[in-house]
Structure 1
Amino acid sequence: MFDRVLGIPAHPLYIHAAVVLVPLLVLVAVLYAIWPASRRHIRWPLVAFALAAPGAVFFAKESGETFSGNRSFQSAELKAAIAQHEDYANMLTLFVVVLAVVALVMAFMLPVTAGARARIKAPAPAHWLLSVVAVVLAALSAYYVYRTGDSGAHMVWSGF
């Protein structure tokens, strides 16, 4: 499952889902955190992206680990580049999973309209803290999805 899809290496296929879903999760989480008027419209997309993005990152990471075992990637220089790419992917996985958990809590703790009651009861300072944490995690996730993709693209386009 992580090695090949229809005879093609799986990693180049799976990364596209992560490259699309992580920025969408970042965008929707930040909007939900800082723009209360948007909440009633984007609550369910936030939940969907919070569930899908970590899965996409997991598939991309696991297929990348399988892909890196290829006999063609055994030079010391390439192994160092792959190790750096894996380090970025590990950080991305961590931040995306934590962002997804925070996004799910946020979806049910922050009220969708001014008069609505949230399903998770919490004092107002907890709402602000959760919003700040979500924005910070979104920024870190965006940074690491960029760094991971950029390091992988440099390996591909440098003619590894």
Structure 2
Amino acid sequence: MKRKSAHPNFDQTLKLLRAHSFDVAPHAGTEGGVLVSKHGVGAVLVPAPKSKNPDDPAVAYAVHPGIVVKGEVARLLDRGYQKFLKTSQYELPASAQQLQAIHTFSEELKQLVGEVSLYNESLGTTSDVYLYDRLKGREAPQPDPAQPWEPADGH
């Protein structure tokens, strides 16, 4: 006998989110995307690609959870010494209250859509982008160091 899906489909998930006081509205910037928000925090969800595994959730993130700034979901940016909220126009320092709101929203959303909650994510807010100033320029290819047994120029 075929096992029933453990997770509701995309439309059922949106109905479930509405029942838990989430605001659900179409997102103009993403085809088929839906902006799901609550308490000033939001994420853009899209239908997940079909999977053979019935335990996979029916939704996927087009934009990961972040604070909604002027109708746009801000990405959380970690610069090592502080976290920032980055939109297409603004980059604002994130407050502790905003980070807690993102964390609470993310955990509640994961639980409702049937996504796996990882241990490191349950400890606090994780960022989408990590840009540490001490790593700038590190990506550039470095020349191989000279070996003492290889002849050098001029010898």
Q: TM-score, normalised by structure 2?
A: 0.28
Higher relative contact order (CA 8 A, sep 6+): 1
- The structure with the largest alpha-carbon Rg is 2
Q: Which has the higher helix share?
A: 1
Q: TM-score, normalised by structure 1?
A: 0.27
